[in-house]
């Protein structure tokens, strides 16, 4: 009788083979083993395409087992695994999606130093056989859509901040007096002027009328002829060094274009995000929490995923990386820290929401924070407790679809006399 440690709903005898696949953007490596760790197909390489998959499917088809008797492990590697995973799942294979950190830890435990795609495929197969497998999951279409939108929104927001910093730095050397007229050179009117005249010499030579026409062309601007006169006068008396004018001017124009384009895409994403939240029945209770803005709600839906898989809220807190990790050895006791597993974006948004609750009048979360501080808890520790409370409340509201009741956030809120 074949025995295996596979964590499957099926009986141990039903799994006759395990297959480990290491995924790459262009190519994959895979191997097939029996439950007694006997190698059936040594690691092979195949293209990560429909034609390339045939090589793997031929080997799987030659096994003396039906698809439901073959367990296949794949690492969750960006988006590269998704197409092959779905293809194999549709064919009836027992799929296991593994976190890369799990296979890396197992690799280290085995004392293996070399790391290649073929060895990684072998490691994945051995993880399935070891009994240490912790299978992940593929989010449903709605959660996947949330993730695409919020993660791209975050990426573009960071790009906007980078472009703004670069524009500020260039304006300092090309036309330092510009800040006397426009405190923020990244506002629409300022960007229009900088694209037309990216340095002091160009603006000084253009004259007041030309600069005035640029100002007028910007919709809903309140800048007029006096502003144009002041800009030209400052430009003609500028103390700019005038070094590398051509290269810096081109860089400034490109950065201004990139900033405007990225900001336009951000607005499109924000509209899509608001539409997702507005039409999602599971966000009904979350939208009633004043401390959570539209993006925070979207991030909670994206990064917590399908919360029905959590048996209790403590699992959601741990999934968000908000559980406490303690290290002790003998008489030595380490400092308690957050595990910080899972999504850093989720923790960032929760941190901002917790800060907002402290200053928000009538906030149940804010009242809970002040209560903890009054009891002697350090402010940062109290803030972390509020973040954990937010995860617990959000998980409950998403699971049940209930209305948000601030009196249930903290049992002592009524005694505190907070107006909710």
Give residue-wise pLDDT tens across range 210-240: 999 999 999 877 888 999 999 999 999 999 9
- Is beta strand 39-47 parallel, antiparallel or unpaired with respect to 27-33? antiparallel
Give residue-wise pLDDT tens across range 115-130: 788 888 998 999 888 8
Mean pLDDT over all residues of the chain? 89
CA quadruple 195, 199, 205, 211: dihedral sign: positive
Q: 108 pLDDT exceeds 80? A: no
Mean of pLDDT values over 131-138:
74
Alpha helices by DSSP H, 320-359: 344-359
Distance of alpha carbon 312 from alpha carbon 67, whole angstroms: 34
Distance of alpha carbon 41 from alpha carbon 34, whole angstroms: 10
The answer to whether the beta carbons of residues 40 and 33 sit under 8 Å apart is yes
Closest CA to 216 of 232, 203, 227, 231: 227
Mean of pLDDT values over 260-279:
96
End-to-end CA distance of the chain, in Å? 64
Bridge partners (DSSP) listed for residue 46? 28
pLDDT at 206: 95
The confidence band for 109, taking pLDDT boundaries of 50, 70 and 90, is confident
Q: 337 pLDDT exceeds 90? A: no
Q: 11 pLDDT exceeds 50? A: no
pLDDT at 113: 60
Closest CA to 296 of 338, 250, 346: 346
The confidence band for 54, taking pLDDT boundaries of 50, 70 and 90, is very high
The confidence band for 341, taking pLDDT boundaries of 50, 70 and 90, is confident
Q: Which two tokens stand for residue 351?
A: 């941190």
Q: 160 pLDDT exceeds 90? A: yes
Q: Which two tokens stand for residue 244?
A: 């590398």
pLDDT at 33: 95
List of residues 6+ apart from 130 with CB closer than 8 A: 5, 106
Residue that the structure tokens 């603006």 belong to: 203
Distance of alpha carbon 136 from alpha carbon 127, whole angstroms: 13
The SS3 call for residue 20 is strand
Q: What does residue 112 show for φ and ψ, rounded to 5 degrees?
A: -85, 130
The answer to whether the beta carbons of residues 124 and 112 sit under 8 Å apart is no
pLDDT at 413: 67
CA 327 to each of CA 95, 201, 344, 364: distance values in angstroms, whole numbers, following the listed order: 35, 62, 22, 33
pLDDT at 259: 98
CA 152 to each of CA 139, 161, 172: distance values in angstroms, whole numbers, following the listed order: 17, 14, 30
Q: 416 pLDDT exceeds 80? A: no
Mean of pLDDT values over 270-298:
95
């Amino acid at each position: 009788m074949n025995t295996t440690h596979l964590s499957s709903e099926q009986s141990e005898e039903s799994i006759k083979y395990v297959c480990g696949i290491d995924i790459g953007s262009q190519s994959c490596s895979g191997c097939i083993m029996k439950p007694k760790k006997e190698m059936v197909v040594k690691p092979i390489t195949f293209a990560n395409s429909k034609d390339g998959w045939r090589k793997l499917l031929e080997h799987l088809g030659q096994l003396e087992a039906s698809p439901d008797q073959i367990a296949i492990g794949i690492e969750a590697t960006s988006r590269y695994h998704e197409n092959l995973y779905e293809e194999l799942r549709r064919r009836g294979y027992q799929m296991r999606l593994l976190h890369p950190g799990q296979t890396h830890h197992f690799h280290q435990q085995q004392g293996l130093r070399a790391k290649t795609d073929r060895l990684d495929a072998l490691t994945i197969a051995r993880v399935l056989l070891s009994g240490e497998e912790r299978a992940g999951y593929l989010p449903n279409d709605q959660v996947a859509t949330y993730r695409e939108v919020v993660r791209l929104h975050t990426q573009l927001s960071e790009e906007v901040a980078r472009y703004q910093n670069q524009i500020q730095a260039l304006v300092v050397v090309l036309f330092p007096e510009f800040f006397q007229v426009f405190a923020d050179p990244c506002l629409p009117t300022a960007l229009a002027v900088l694209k037309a005249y990216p340095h002091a010499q160009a603006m000084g030579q253009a004259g007041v009328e030309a600069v005035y026409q640029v100002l007028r062309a910007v919709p809903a601007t309140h800048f007029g002829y006096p502003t144009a006169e002041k800009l030209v006068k400052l430009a003609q008396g500028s103390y700019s060094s005038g070094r590398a004018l051509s290269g810096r001017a081109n860089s400034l124009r490109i950065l201004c274009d990139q900033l405007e384009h990225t900001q336009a895409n951000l607005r499109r994403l924000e509209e899509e995000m608001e539409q997702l939240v507005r039409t999602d029945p599971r966000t009904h209770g979350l939208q009633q929490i004043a401390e959570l803005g539209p993006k925070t709600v979207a991030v909670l839906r994206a990064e917590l995923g399908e919360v029905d898989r959590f048996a209790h809220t403590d699992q959601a807190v741990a999934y968000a990386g908000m559980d406490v990790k303690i290290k002790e050895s003998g008489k030595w006791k380490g400092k308690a820290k957050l595990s910080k597993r899972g999504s850093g974006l989720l923790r960032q948004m929760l941190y901002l929401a917790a800060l907002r609750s402290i200053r928000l009048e009538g906030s149940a979360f804010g009242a809970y924070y002040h209560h903890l501080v009054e009891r002697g808890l350090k402010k940062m520790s109290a803030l972390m407790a509020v973040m954990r409370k937010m995860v617990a409340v959000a998980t409950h509201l998403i699971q049940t679809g209930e209305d948000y009741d601030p009196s249930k956030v903290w049992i002592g809120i009524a005694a505190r006399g907070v107006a909710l």
